[in-house]
Amino acid sequence: MLITDIILMAGLPASGKSQFVQKYKDLGYVILSLDAKTMSYASDTATLEREINKRNKVVIDNTNTVALNRKVFIDFAKRNNLTIGIHHMNTSKDDCLINSLHRVYKRHGQVFMHFSDIPSGIKSERKNFVISAIFSMDKNFDKINKSEGFDQVEVTKFERQENWGYTNKAVFIDLDGTVRESTGSEKYPLEINDISILKNSADVLKKYKGYGYKIIAITNQSGVSKKVLTSQKVVELIEHTNKLLDNVIDDYYFCPHSPKDVCYCRKPQSGMGVLMMHKHQLDLKQSIMIGDSTSDKTFADRLGIKFFNPSLFFDR
């Protein structure tokens, strides 16, 4: 822990800064939050100066990712003969994205995959839909150096909570190119007659279901955003796919968004995995992901799920 007069917290949104802010508060520091608009980077150091004049030690709680913004507080400290340190939550972009999903689920019992999914009455979540900010800040994060003028620098790696006490396990499956293929004009079926089940799909999944695995389909369905499918049609096609698989699928979720859209659900994003993890109380370390694309493998890697290519898993 830092022991300077002024401490800057630094890190991407959802990087775990709040847990350390509380630790500093317990040590007697006054917390000033830029997010709460108690002060601004540009010129308003009046709040900071007021607390310092009271002989309080202060934590500036914000992302503080830009060196030029950090310099405002460093210069203030030097002018007033104060020590200043920075506590960097060096949490990866992927961990921040997953952490933000867990936070929303714990607060609301659901995951808001897209900004449009958030009810207007939940203003806090509309304000803190941070996926775009995480990507942007990660790309433009100015490396933190003691040479900026800090007296102390502390770096903490966020530890993702791995043990939620869940004991169930699942086989997550992609659909198109994994358990089914389209005989129609598109790579994905547009009508139920387009669906052809790939070799060994039903038999292998039924075997794993017998081993106690839940079978959960998670699929990107950008045909909805292209207006060649409706969400209702996607549901019909998944339900018919399940019928052809002898109803082995226990649950499913699909992303209707375009690759250019900003959402938590489109693989390789982790939204569908986090949602199903909590909904079915899954231990992801015991679970498996089967998919035919790089996005499926990245999805699995981010969540710590063992990945298999369908040709190997289904012995094709």
> For residues 158 and 193, what is the distance between their CA atoms, to the nearest angstrom?
49
CA distances to 27, 95, 246, 273 from 265, rounded to whole Å, are 40, 15, 27, 9
Structure tokens at 314: 């289904």
151 catalytic? Reply is no
> For residues 65 and 8, what is the distance between their CA atoms, to the nearest angstrom?
10
At 10 the three-state DSSP class reads strand
> For residues 306 and 313, what is the distance between their CA atoms, to the nearest angstrom?
12
95 catalytic? Reply is no
Backbone torsions φ then ψ of 31, nearest 5 degrees? -100, 120
User: For residue 11, what is the DSSP state?
Assistant: -
Backbone torsions φ then ψ of 61, nearest 5 degrees? -95, 100
Give the HSE-up count for residue 214: Cα atoms under 13 Å, Cβ half-sphere: 19
> For residues 266 and 301, what is the distance between their CA atoms, to the nearest angstrom?
15
At 4 the three-state DSSP class reads coil
Catalytic residue among 176, 203, 250, 261: 176
> For residues 218 and 266, what is the distance between their CA atoms, to the nearest angstrom?
9
Q: Which residues pair with 151 in a beta bridge?
A: none
Catalytic residue among 61, 94, 95, 174: 174
* Active-site annotation, residues: 174, 176
